[in-house]
């Protein structure tokens, strides 16, 4: 009998598996790759990341995990906010004035301003909730963050928006976690913290792409299994042929829908949502 079974090989599932690495853990993943929403592809000299790609700095949980697993990360330079809409690209200036520089109607601009003021005020409140308190257990702080504005979705918080106004807010949260109709208001507000506060600590990229982290954990777990059994129980999956151990089929896969790239390109590395938006995928090949 296993000590624990982890459902899902995304960053949350693989982080849990790492936390329980000294126990007998089985990880079940429904797609043909590890990483969930963290996906990276090489494009020449660069890495293109889908999903969250900005990680916490020194002293954060992400920093501790990266160091334990042995994955390198580098501090980012420049602006964390950029926007592209209907051929117009904005990557400089005050983000608060972006709505007035886009090719949209004045009614949509007014919608964005009204919703933006609500989000800005909530971001200020979130910053206070998110701030570590002296002598506080990290679990208490994490629960406080989870409970922040958790009684409604982000779309309920902003209110109904036209297609043009919605295009300003939606990609910021959907690319990294889930749709505004599905994540909590607090989670959505947290993503916008980085718009106005680069010093919030989420200022590093993983060398080799964000997906390197969950894949490195999978490699480590496989090596541990080989050490236990004296033989390999691996299986090649995905474009990178990542070796994984303890293969278990799950029937039909479910893979997270990738977000769109048309909005503000600032992302946060915590998962605070009511549920993930998933679409039926291909039959599983499976994992760890």
Q: What digits encode the pLDDT tens for the residues 261-277?
A: 223 322 222 222 222 33
The pLDDT value recorded for residue 93 is 83
186 vs 86, 117, 128, 133, 262, CA distance in Å? 29, 15, 13, 19, 22
Q: Is the pLDDT of residue 182 over 50?
A: yes
- Which of 139-153, 200-214, 218-232 reaches the highest mean pLDDT? 139-153
Six-digit token pair at 227? 């050490």
The pLDDT value recorded for residue 57 is 77
- Lowest average pLDDT, out of 8-12, 153-157, 192-196, goes to 192-196
Band (pLDDT 50/70/90 cuts) for residue 225 is: low
The pLDDT value recorded for residue 252 is 25
Average pLDDT over residues 221-240: 44
Average pLDDT over residues 165-179: 84
Six-digit token pair at 191? 């993503």
- Residues 79 and 93: their CA atoms lie apart, in Å, by 9
Paired with 50 in beta bridges are: 39
The pLDDT value recorded for residue 171 is 85
The pLDDT value recorded for residue 68 is 94
Average pLDDT over residues 135-144: 88
Average pLDDT over residues 116-121: 93
- Residues 85 and 152: their CA atoms lie apart, in Å, by 28
- Residues 206 and 200: their CA atoms lie apart, in Å, by 17
Q: Give me the residue label for tokens 């919703």.
A: 115
The pLDDT value recorded for residue 118 is 95
The pLDDT value recorded for residue 80 is 67
Q: Is the pLDDT of residue 34 over 60?
A: yes
- Residues 255 and 105: their CA atoms lie apart, in Å, by 36
Average pLDDT over residues 213-228: 75
For residue 259, give the DSSP letter: P
- The pTM of the whole model exceeds 0.75: no
Q: Is the pLDDT of residue 67 over 70?
A: yes
The pLDDT value recorded for residue 130 is 84
% residues pLDDT > 90 (the chain): 36
The pLDDT value recorded for residue 60 is 78
Q: Is the pLDDT of residue 198 over 90?
A: no
Answer with the residue of higher pLDDT: 201 or 136.
136
């Amino acid at each position: 009998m296993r000590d624990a079974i982890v459902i899902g090989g995304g960053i949350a599932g693989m982080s849990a598996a790492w936390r329980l690495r000294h126990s007998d853990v089985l990880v079940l993943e429904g797609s043909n790759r590890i990483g969930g929403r963290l996906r990276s592809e090489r494009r020449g000299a660069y890495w293109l990341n889908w999903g969250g790609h900005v990680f916490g700095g020194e002293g954060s949980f992400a920093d501790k995990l990266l160091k334990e697993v042995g994955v390198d990360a580098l501090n980012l330079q420049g602006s964390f906010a950029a926007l592209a809409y209907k051929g117009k690209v904005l990557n400089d200036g005050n983000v608060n004035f972006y709505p007035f520089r886009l090719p949209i109607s004045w009614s949509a601009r007014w919608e964005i301003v009204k919703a933006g003021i609500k989000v800005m005020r909530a971001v200020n409140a979130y910053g206070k909730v998110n701030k570590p308190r002296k002598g506080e257990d990290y679990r208490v702080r994490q629960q406080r963050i989870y409970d922040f504005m958790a009684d409604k979705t982000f779309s309920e918080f902003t209110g109904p928006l036209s297609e043009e106004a919605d295009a300003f807010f939606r990609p910021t949260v959907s690319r990294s976690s889930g749709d505004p109709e599905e994540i909590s208001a607090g989670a959505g507000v947290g993503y916008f913290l980085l718009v106005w506060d680069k010093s919030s600590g989420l200022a590093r990229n993983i060398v080799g792409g964000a997906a390197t982290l969950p894949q490195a954990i999978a490699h480590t777990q496989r090596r541990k299994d080989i050490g236990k059994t004296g033989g390999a129980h691996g299986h090649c999956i995905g474009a990178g042929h990542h070796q994984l151990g303890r293969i278990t089929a799950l029937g039909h896969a479910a893979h997270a829908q990738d977000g769109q790239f048309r909005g503000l390109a600032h992302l946060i590395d915590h998962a605070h949502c009511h549920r993930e938006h998933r679409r039926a995928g291909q039959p599983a090949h499976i994992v760890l």
